[in-house]
Amino acid sequence: MAQLTGHVTPFHHWQFIDMHFQQWDEDKYANLGKCFLIQSLPLTADISIGEFLLNNYKQALDILQEMPIRIVTLLSGRPISDAQFSGWLEAEHQYLKSKQAEPQANILGVEYVELLTKYNDAQ
């Protein structure tokens, strides 16, 4: 880097160093799991684990950056308290907890179809 930044201003010197290490970080994250391919993603089977992690990391950073702006937009003109947010979060937790097990009607329906199939095969 010294040869490339030898005749530049201090600002551009620091700017180049910053750009260099940002690119270095991205390359490191992208190559993190180059040996292993993600088999569970049928459309992107050629993406390495490192690229997958890097993309998720970038997405998380984008969400963290945009979230405060979206919250302010959501709240503009509406008096919503933190207690309401907590209540909504608790209601969502309860709803998701109730959906952890498959409904009994679905289980019985599948068993019924399996028994019909076995009955037809037996005849």
Q: Give the model confidence (pLDDT) of 42-53 as tens digits.
A: 555 556 677 778
Distances from the Cα of 81 to the Cαs of 54, 66, 95, in angstroms? 35, 21, 21
Instruction: Give the distance, in angstroms, between the CA of residue 102 and the centroid of all CA atoms in the same chain.
Output: 25
**What is the crossing angle of helices 10-30 and 49-75, to 10°?**
120
pLDDT top residue among 50 and 70: 70
Q: Determine what percent of the chain is predicted with pLDDT higher than 70.
A: 85
pTM, full prediction? 0.31
Q: Which two tokens stand for residue 4?
A: 């490339």
What confidence category does residue 2 fall into, taking pLDDT thresholds of 50, 70 and 90?
Answer: confident
Q: Which two tokens stand for residue 119?
A: 């009955």
Q: Give the model confidence (pLDDT) of 88-98 as tens digits.
A: 889 999 888 88
